[in-house]
Amino acid sequence: MSSMNIASVDLNLLKVFEALHDEASASRAALRLGVTQSAVSASLRRLREVYDDQLFVRTGRGLAPTLRANQLKPVVSDALNKCRQSLAMVEPEGSHFEGRSVALGWSDDFEIAFGRRLMASVRHSAPGLRLIFRQTHSQIVGTALMERSIDLAVASGGFAERLLSRRVLGEGGYLCLADPASLAPGQRTLSLEEFIAREQILVSSGGFIGMVDEGLSSLGLSRTVCASTTHFAALPYLLNGTDAISTIPSHAAQAVAQIAGLALLECPLPMPRYPVELGWRTSTQLDSAVLKVREAIQGLF
């Protein structure tokens, strides 16, 4: 076991460790840090001595972190972010965001509907800050925040863990999407009979049962799901040229319809509204980068 102490360790090694973990490649880590690949390789040899572990092992797809590296990552990134925050304190407006990134977890319906406006807002309020969008949903979002794979999240719940804070942004409803060629000219509604007669595409992390199925079941009805996907972004490619419909959150339906030329239809089934919440680790309360993105998200809603 290594008996290193901080006085004998070059703290620049931590930046190399973070880049290697994020990029899973020595060449990409070198590009990110603006150094040579041989310098990164030399730093990795030194890191392995310091932590008495391989840290990253070569696979067919690059460098994979070991268990020890995954345990170290949140600690190292927190330490580096504290250093970045200390530099931001020099500027009264806290506008020193070069080199900082904030990882936001949300499902791609929110990314489609709000991602572009969030990018514009953050570009204005925190120039130099990079946004990282990561796919998540309410069943896994709490764990992702606690494990520090994301810094903030937008979801319909999942923030009950005591070390997390949350704020309700609003609530959402549902609309249907269809290929306009499968409808009568100008048609904007479907009867319940027409609704269940059509094949449907389900967007779900699980792939079998959705809110529509629960609503139909309460009426003693059921529908035919011809396909299921985990990504809202796939819908234009799956719906165009078919008679199928998909019932999805209103914000995503409106954005997809506008971009892909699909028809928007009122859902003939009474659907419950759902909360939209913003969550974060309470310990990041004073991090100016996370705060800027939080404010920008609240502004969008």
Predicted pLDDT of residue 77: 83
Local structure of 286: helix, strand or coil = coil
The span from the CA of 37 to the CA of 48, in Å, is 17
| Residues 61-117: tens digit of each pLDDT | 889 999 999 989 888 988 887 787 776 666 655 557 877 889 999 999 999 999 999
pLDDT on residue 227 = 95
Q: Which CATH number characterizes residue 122's domain? A: 3.40.190.10
Q: Tell me, what's the pLDDT at 1?
A: 47
Q: What is the C-alpha separation between 212 and 202, in angstroms, rounded?
A: 9
For 124-182, the pLDDT digits (tens) are 999 989 999 999 998 999 999 988 889 999 999 889 888 999 999 999 999 999 999 99
Pair (280, 268) in one structural domain: no
| 179 and 258 together in one domain | yes
Domain assignment present for 86: no
For residue 220, what are the CA distances in angstroms to 129, 214, 244? 51, 10, 22
- 44 and 16 in a common domain: yes
Residue 85 domain-assigned (yes or no)? no
> What are the tens digits of pLDDT across the range 234-274?
999 999 999 999 999 999 999 999 999 999 999 999 998 99
CA dihedral 62→74→291→279, nearest 10 degrees, is: 90
The domain that holds 13 is classified in CATH as 1.10.10.10
Compute CA 39 distance to the chain's CA centroid, rounded to the nearest angstrom: 32
pLDDT band at 216 (very low <50, low <70, confident <90, very high): very high
**pLDDT, tens digit, 9 for 90 and up, residues 7-19:** 777 888 999 999 9
Is residue 280 located within the same domain as residue 156?
yes
Compute the average pLDDT of residues 28-42: 91
* 55/183 same-domain check: no
Which of 18, 52, 80 lies at the terminal end of a domain, its last residue?
A: 80
Range of the domain at 261: 174-272
Q: Closest Cα partner for 47 from 94, 2, 114?
A: 2
90 is a domain residue: no
Number of compact structural domains in the chain: 3
Q: Which amino acid is at 18?
A: E
Q: Tell me, yes or no, if the pTM score tops 0.85.
A: no
Same-domain check for residues 20 and 70: yes
Same domain assignment for residues 182 and 268: yes
On whether both 286 and 142 belong to a single domain, the answer is yes
* 8-12, 53-57, 225-229, 296-300: segment of lowest average pLDDT: 8-12
